[in-house]
Amino acid sequence: MDRGGCQMSGGGGGERSGPEPSAMISLEDLESFSEDQLSDSGTGSLEEEAEMAEENEDRMLHYWQDVARGHQVEVAQDMAQPIQQLTSNNQGRSYREQVPFTLLARKEKCGELMYERRQYEKGHWACIIMRQDTYEQSICYGFMKIMRYICEQNSLGQYLGMTLPIVTVVRTNEDHTTVSNDVTVAFFLPAEHQAQPPQPQDSEIVLEVWPSTTVYARPFTGPTNEVTIIHQIGAMAEMLESPGVCVNDSFIVAGYTNPAHSNRQNEIWFLEQR
């Protein structure tokens, strides 16, 4: 497996992936559970609390399984604990750590943001390349593996914290009409773990230092799939004054909100050649 394919590199020489984040089961999916559903415990004996916690864990697992079934994805029983950990650590939080960047420029037209030019500094990312039969399967299975890493399946044995966006690297053919079947899912490590990244227990997850990169980022809303990604790449190419400064066959899709949400917040990133 080409581990270099995960990197966010302006060189455009290694990315091997094709995302469809609309299928990704994200953290926000879990938050459709009400606080009442998740906070009924803590009022009885230790045995009663343990029983209630187990019921909540099963309820959330079944929810994930129902969501995934629509994408022909199976959520294994061993995902129950990571799902519970993500939910208990993030329930009710309005803030999650953002991947840091420096804004270099903004282009607007008639008051509407067309795109931003940003500088992302060098940093550690956890990434995995998946090669399933469909985009939905690759994204879902890749994210679940990353999720296990975030939730204690790491050398520290503890919850690491969540960052946004979750990104997928897109590799297209020369005329931007198709996306590669390989899917890369990448997670930026929280600031407190950047200096000494916890090692994953899953050998398929690789920690990489992505180089400092300049990107052109354009926001868009709604579902993301192969059709919308190709459309957004075309729209962005038309807006750039000098599209030739960017890598021509590798792009990034950044997801910030629940992929099932009707008004999902996304971005398409073009990578400036170094």
Average pLDDT over residues 80-104: 71
User: Model-level pTM?
Assistant: 0.74
Spatial contact of 217 and 118, defined as CB atoms under 8 Å apart: yes
* Angle ∠(80,85,89) on CA atoms, nearest 5: 150
More confident residue, 75 or 17: 75
| Residue 205 included in any domain | yes
Token pair recorded at residue 240: 């750039």
More confident residue, 62 or 250: 250
Spatial contact of 227 and 180, defined as CB atoms under 8 Å apart: no
Count the domains in the chain.
1
| Among 34-38, 139-143, 146-150, the range of highest mean pLDDT | 146-150
Q: In one letter, which amino acid is 210?
A: W
| Residue 80 included in any domain | no
| Residue 42 included in any domain | no
Q: Report the distance separating Cα 143 and Cα 261, nearest Å.
A: 17
More confident residue, 48 or 260: 48
Question: Residue written as tokens 């979750």?
Answer: 166
| Residue 60 included in any domain | no
Q: Which of 65, 75, 63, 67 is nearest to 38 (CA)?
A: 63
Question: Residue written as tokens 């990107």?
Answer: 215
| Residue 133 included in any domain | yes
Give DSSP secondary structure letters for 123-179.
EEEEEEEE--SSHHHHHHHHHHHHHHHHBT-BTT-SB---EE-EEEEEEB-TTS--B
* Angle ∠(253,14,214) on CA atoms, nearest 5: 55
Cis previous bond, 165, omega within 30: yes
| Residue 187 included in any domain | yes
Please write the tens of the pLDDT for every residue from 212-246.
Answer: 999 999 999 987 778 888 999 999 999 998 888 99
Residue 18 has pLDDT above 50, yes or no: no
Please write the tens of the pLDDT for every residue from 29-64.
Answer: 444 433 344 444 445 555 655 565 566 667 666 766
Mean pLDDT of all residues belonging to the chain: 77
Q: Which of 258, 77, 83 is nearest to 159 (CA)?
A: 83
Helix (H) / strand (E) element for 10: namely: none
Residue 172 has pLDDT above 60, yes or no: yes
Q: Report the distance separating Cα 227 and Cα 130, nearest Å.
A: 20
Distant-in-sequence, close-in-space partners of 3: CB < 8 Å, separation ≥ 6:
129, 206, 208
| Residue 225 included in any domain | yes
Average pLDDT over residues 171-179: 89
| Residue 220 included in any domain | yes
First to last CA, the chain: 25
pLDDT value of position 14: 38
Q: What is the CATH number of the domain that holds 148?
A: 3.20.80.10
pLDDT value of position 143: 83
Token pair recorded at residue 94: 């309005």
Domain residues for the domain of 232 are 3-23+95-272
Average pLDDT over residues 205-211: 97
**Which pairing describes strands 206-210 and 265-272: parallel, antiparallel, or unpaired?**
unpaired
